[in-house]
Amino acid sequence: MALERGLASRAAFKLEELLARHRLVRRGARVLDLGCAPGGWLAVLAKAVGPKGRVVGVDRAPCRAPAPWVTTLTGDLKEENIRSAAYEVLGARAGLVTCDMAPRLSGVRDRDQQAMTELLELALTSANEILKPGGAFVVKVFMNADLKPVVGRLKTVFSTVNLVRPQATRRGSSEMYVVASGFFSADGLCDRCAK
């Protein structure tokens, strides 16, 4: 089954560990997963919320939904239309937004770093638009100088912000996760989105 296959990846183990350690999601919750293909995180999220929950995954690449209570949308999150569509499928504000978006790497360090920072900004915008008060946000990041201001901004809209490294992370990897909870500001995506 797709749900079981998706649970097997290392990335999936890391997310599972974070969700359990920080108690980020409950059964029946609504979750938005940004950059969901090929679907490893979606499988973990589907298992965490169960059949009474709802998970929406968005990616530029097509991705199969691992369970009937998961919907995947294909499109670029830079487009407001795709973020509105995700909100409409969720049916209400989300309790958790997760983000594992990564750019197509060019091999030019500065350009790639800038692309990663832009995606991080986009993830922040999406979380701000779609999270409900008290909601949580998990985003994969790489340690670099651009991270500090982003963490500072997160602290203005979440009551708790932690930079964490799951145990399942390979030694030497600069990969980290920002885990933010207690969202207390809601910008609203559009008129249709109830506060």
Ligand X SMILES: C[S@@+](CC[C@H](N)C(=O)[O-])C[C@H]1O[C@@H](n2cnc3c(N)ncnc32)[C@H](O)[C@@H]1O
Tokens at residue 74, please? 């294909």
Specify the residue, 37 or 179, whose C-beta has the smaller distance to ligand X.
37
Least spacing, CB of residue 61 vs ligand X, in Å: 5
DSSP conformation class of 103: P
Residue 132 catalytic? no
CB of 104 to ligand X, least distance (A): 8
Distance of CA 152 to the CA centre of its chain: 19
141 is an interface residue for ligand X by CB under 6 A? no
Q: Which residues pair with 116 in a beta bridge?
A: none
Q: What angle do CA 128, 21, 99 make, to 5 degrees?
A: 35
How many chain residues are in contact with ligand X, going by CB under 6 A? 20
Residue of 41, 87, 137, 177 that binds ligand X (CB under 6 A): 41
Tell me the closest approach of the beta carbon of residue 116 to ligand X, in angstroms: 10
- In angstroms, the Cα distances linking 6 to 12, 118, 145, 169, 191 are 7, 27, 33, 18, 36
* Contact positions with ligand X (CB under 6 A) in 69-128: 76-78, 100-103, 119
Give the residue numbers annotated as catalytic, written as ranges.
140
